[in-house]
Amino acid sequence: MFKVLNKQILAKDVKRLDVKAPLIAARIAAGQFVMIVTREGGEWIPMMVAEAESLRGQITFIFQENNPAAVELGQLTIGEEIFSMVGPLGQPAKIAKTGVVVCLATGVGTARILPICKALKKAGNKVIGIMGAKTKNSLTLEPQMRIACSRLLITTEDGSYEQRGLASEMLKDILASEVVRQVYAAGSAEMMQAVCQMTKDKAISTLVQLQPVMACGMGFCGSCRVRVEGKVVLACVSGPLFDGHSVNFEHYKTRLAVNQAQKVNQDFQHEEDDMTRSITKFFPGLLGK
């Protein structure tokens, strides 16, 4: 049912998959996501939909292979099928005509900000896009962002393309020269926190896309809890977009670090289990029972 129609390697460990999913393509809105599992018995992972074409009945994922489940997804070939997909999930972005809006993204966060840029521009806003990357080779979706934005600025940390520096530094220049009504940010916790510190002083509405570990996507497991306005909420049902000035970023970063450590331990345990099975297979009795 969810057949892979096209596949591209965009950068190191970053891939694009176009997948047949007519029902989701017809219903998904900017800011929403889906949960997918590549194979039966596999791990469910959240995936933002970078593009949706309802007429063709297809959606596009752009993702980094930074965990085993994402690696499995990236190994699918054209013609193969994703085992299961659930969505749309999460709260859609509230799109309105407000004036000048800045959409800032780093890394694969560009894939999460792209549909929001398109929706904001369609609503009549002047959309200024800011893309940040470590190097020119790690940039993704530049042509699509140029179409989706009224103006696009690019920074690379090593200066290999466009301007040298950080995306958040370029935002400071924009805020000094434009009457910005709203800011959207998607990327690292550090970048989003820096953006919110800048916009809070100027009382500019700022929405950030949080991406905590998410096991079910429907509010059952509680793995994606974050602190917003002093309360614990679930990113899957209340987000993934949140008022950045209300997000407790220190709690968010701690949760990300804890989940990463747990993931490393799980992967290590899986490797140990695989090794144990191999040794037991070839040398029965060596490890005891």
CATH number of the domain enclosing 200:
3.40.50.80
Q: Is the pLDDT of residue 253 over 70?
A: yes
Q: Are residues 39 and 79 in the same domain?
A: yes
Give me the pLDDT at residue 260, please. 58
170 shares a domain with 139: yes
Is residue 270, in this structure, part of any structural domain at all?
no
Same domain, 73 and 111: no
pTM, full prediction: 0.83
Contact between residue 92 and residue 29 where contact means Cβ atoms under 8 Å apart: yes
Binning pLDDT at 50, 70 and 90, where does residue 267 land?
very low
Peptide bond preceding 88 in cis form (omega within 30 of 0): yes
Residue range 225-242: mean pLDDT, rounded:
93
Mention every residue, 6+ apart, whose C-beta is less than 8 A from residue 121: 127, 148, 149, 150
Indicate the number of domains in the chain. Answer: 2
Residue 45 lies in a domain: yes
Query: Which tops the pLDDT comparison, 43 or 271?
Result: 43
Residue 15 lies in a domain: yes
- CA–CA gap between residue 100 and residue 196 (Å, rounded): 17
State the pairing for strand pair 225-228/231-234.
Answer: antiparallel
> Domain end: 209, 224, 257, which one?
209
Domain boundary among 89, 119, 136: 89
Share of the chain above pLDDT 90, in %: 64
pLDDT of residue 206: 96
pLDDT digits (tens, 9 = 90+) for 33-70: 999 999 998 899 999 999 999 999 999 999 988 889 99
Is 241 contained in some domain?
no
Range of the domain at 167: 100-209
Q: Do 112 and 79 share a structural domain?
A: no
Residue 61 shares a structural domain with residue 145: no
Give residue 140's pLDDT band: very low, low, confident or very high (50, 70, 90): confident
Same domain, 71 and 170: no
Q: Is residue 236 part of a domain?
A: no
Same domain assignment for residues 48 and 104 = no
117 with 79, same domain?
no
Element (H, E) at 223: none
Same domain, 112 and 79: no
153 found inside a domain: yes
Beta strands at 163-164 and 151-156: parallel, antiparallel or unpaired: parallel
204 shares a domain with 109: yes
Q: Does the residue 158 lie in any domain?
A: yes
Residue 2 in tokens: 């969810």
Write down the pLDDT at residue 259.
Answer: 57
Position 137 scores a pLDDT of 85
Q: Which of 89, 109, 142 is the last residue of a domain?
A: 89
Whether residues 47 and 134 share a domain: the answer is no
Residues 33 and 62 reside in one and the same domain:
yes
Residue 245 is assigned to a structural domain of this protein: no
CATH number at residue 72: 2.40.30.10
| Overall average pLDDT of the 254-276 stretch | 53
Whether residue 32 is predicted with pLDDT greater than 70 in this model: the reply is yes
